[in-house]
Structure 1
Amino acid sequence: MNTFKKNDVKTESKKETSKVVKSLSSIFSGSFLNKDNVVSSLPYVFFLTLLGILYIANGYYSEKTVRDLYRVGSELKELRSEYITIKSDFNFKSKQSQVAEATVDFGIKESIVPPSKIVVNKAEAKSVIQPN
């Protein structure tokens, strides 16, 4: 009944396989490079090559950036620990007992007499500021 369609499908599949075989044989033999359509597609090939180069360069740039971030992060950790160490040393050395101990070499002694409060009346302050 429908033998025409069955025969048509068989010939179509044979045509497809023969096209694939022809294209593969032209690729392996290198004869596809001699055709004029290759010359017309050279700008596209150059564009794809440029995109590939840019892709590779972007990969190298991102790896360099990651290495720089790691280096700066480790440097930041070192500086932070140095800051904490210096700050604790400063806090220790700025205690009254440590300052008094450090100034003994210069001949400066810690005062034993407590400080006294100076009280100035307003009248005395005016006479000192504006003499008659």
Structure 2
Amino acid sequence: MSKNTIKDNELSEEVQEKMNESVEKKVEETQNFLRSIFSTNRLSSYLVAKNLPFAAFVALLGLVYISNRHLAERTVRSIDRLGRDVKELSWDYKSLSAELMKLTTQTEIAKRADTLGLRERTEPPIKLEVVKEK
């Protein structure tokens, strides 16, 4: 395998001059643009009117972004609140279910029936048979 080396190809004077000219031209265009924006005589109604649709579009995008952010935050808060409500209702369901299970045990039913004067049977039920006459 060969070793990595840096090629030192020097550019010709013509190419260097062309590159320098293009760079200088770009710098000059940038300076002219900045001068036209910040100069008081150029900052006229024409420049404002020319860029007004773009500025309105950017402002509209900003408003849409802000409203979308508020909507997302409101939705997240709503989801969080509903999650807490679901947890609370789940706890209520579990406690009521446990209480109902306790109230429907045989001993609890016997205690409640005793207050009404009813008692649990101690002897098995009697089977009645009907004899058919022929």
| TM-score strictly above 0.5 | yes
Amino acid paired to 2:64 = L
Residue matched to 2:30: 20
Q: How does 1:59-98 map to 2 (within 5 A)?
A: 59-98=69-108
Q: Structure 1 unaligned segments of length 5 or more: list them.
A: 125-132
Whole-angstrom CA distance in 2 between matches of 1:48 and 1:118:
93
Q: Is the 8 A contact 1:32 1:38 kept in 2?
A: no
- Taking structure 1 as reference, are residues 11 and 95 closer, same or farther at Cα in structure 2, changes over 3 Å only? same
**Letter of the 2:93 counterpart:** Y
Partner AA of 1:91 in structure 2 = M
Give me the whole-angstrom Cα distance separating, in 2, the residues matched to 1:60 and 1:87: 40
Kindly indicate whether residue 14 of structure 2 is the aligned counterpart of residue 8 of structure 1. no
Relative distance call for 1:16 and 1:100 in structure 2 (3 A) is same
Q: Which amino acid aligns with 2:70?
A: Y
Residue 4 of structure 2 corresponds to none
Would you tell me which structure has more helix in proportion to its own residues?
Answer: 1
Report the number of matched residues: 122
> Counterpart amino acid of 2:107?
S
Deviation of the 1:83 alpha carbon: 0.7
Partner residue, 1:55 = 65
* 1:44 Cα deviation after fit: 2.9
- Structure 2 distance, partners of 1:32, 1:87, is 79
Residue 100 (structure 1) aligned to one of 104, 107, 110: 110
Distance 2:129 2:95 in 1: 44
Secondary structure (helix, strand or coil) at the match of 1:115 reads coil
Alignment of 1:93-132 (within 5 A): 93-119=103-129
- State TM-score, norm by structure 2: 0.72
| Superposition CA RMSD, Å | 2.7
Pair 15,5 (structure 1): closer, same or farther in 2 beyond 3 Å: same
